[in-house]
Amino acid sequence: MTDFSIQPAKLEHVDQIVGLIKYWAELGQLLDRSQVEVVDSIRDFKIALSTNGDFVGCSSLHVLGSDVAEVRSLAVDPTWQAKGLGAALVESCIEDAYTYDVDRVFALTYQPGFFEKQGFSLANVMDFPEKVWNECVRCPFFSNCREIAVVLELDN
């Protein structure tokens, strides 16, 4: 039974998105995102709402180059884990990637096993130079990054 819905994010959801990402960032599971960053990329974001209208998760798909996009800021409310919500949010990102004719979707994650369940394969972060040389180099964790790259080749 589906007891949540996934929708494009609106500016009214920014504080909830920032708060949920911060929750997981403080536990070392996600990269923190400022309010300005989330506002800037609001069109990348999807949100999940429970049937009561409660905000219960988010994800974003960011196009990084002519053939590749990144799933980032995937976060499920801790009381909503293990109900299929993370998988549904990733599926929504993949649908968006098809819409944009993207060839490959990747993520950098501490949960590669979750992404493998969604059909992704382990990859080398250097396969995504757009990410490494434009963004990772500015990340405070660059020299000590433990995130694992995963990729899904789309069947366009």
Ligand X SMILES: CC(C)(COP(=O)(O)OP(=O)(O)OC[C@H]1O[C@@H](n2cnc3c(N)ncnc32)[C@H](O)[C@@H]1OP(=O)(O)O)[C@@H](O)C(=O)NCCC(=O)NCCS
CA separation, residue 5 to residues 75, 80, 114 (Å): 15, 13, 20
Footprint (CB under 6 A) of ligand X, residues 104-143: 107, 109-111, 113-114, 117
Angle at 133 between CA 127 and CA 139, to 5 degrees: 110
Rounded to a whole number of angstroms, the minimum distance from the CB of residue 112 to ligand X is 8
* 103 within 8 A of 153, measured Cβ to Cβ: yes
Toward ligand X, which CB reaches closer, 25 or 154? 25
Footprint (CB under 6 A) of ligand X, residues 62-101: 74-76, 81-87
Rounded to a whole number of angstroms, the minimum distance from the CB of residue 78 to ligand X is 8
Give residue 99's Cα distance to chain centre. Answer: 17
* 126 within 8 A of 153, measured Cβ to Cβ: no
Toward ligand X, which CB reaches closer, 142 or 156? 142
Interface ranges with ligand X (CB under 6 A):
24, 29-30, 74-76, 81-87, 107, 109-111, 113-114, 117
